[in-house]
Amino acid sequence: MAIDVRYPDGSYRAVPSELRAVDNGQSGAQARFHHRPVNSDPLWRFYNDGTTWHARPRHGALSILVPPVDHWWQGIAAMADALALPDMSDQASRAHRAA
């Protein structure tokens, strides 16, 4: 779906859009939706003046909110760094003395 948005130069461009729920579907009421542009353009923000959607320049940057993912090998003990592994030589010498 696309919606027409007016840009500062006076032109209208079709922008990807979505239907967003106006209310949370109150019991017994029919759900209502609002047709609005997807606000994911890194250069433009979109706002509505009541009748028309307008674009204005975005200041700053978009950031992707994704948690960092560990490298696949970090969960394997044998592939861990030498400093992260416990010192096995000390445990082996204690077991040898106890016998």
Across all residues in the chain, what is the average pLDDT? 79
Confidence label for 94 from pLDDT (cuts 50, 70 and 90): low
Which amino acid belongs to residue 57?
Answer: P
- The pTM of this model reads 0.53
SS3 25: coil
Question: Measured in whole angstroms, how far is the alpha carbon of residue 46 from the centre of its chain?
Answer: 19
For position 4, what pLDDT does the model report?
Answer: 94
Burial 75-93 (b: 16+ CB within 10 A, else e): eeeeeeeeeeeeeeeeeee
Report in angstroms the alpha-carbon separations of 49 from 15, 18, 24, 59, 78. 17, 18, 24, 20, 61
Could you report the per-residue pLDDT of 46-92, keeping only the tens digit for each? 999 989 999 999 887 666 677 777 777 777 777 766 665 556 666 65
**Among 54, 30, 29, which Cα is nearest to 41's?**
54
**pLDDT, mean of residues 35-51:** 89
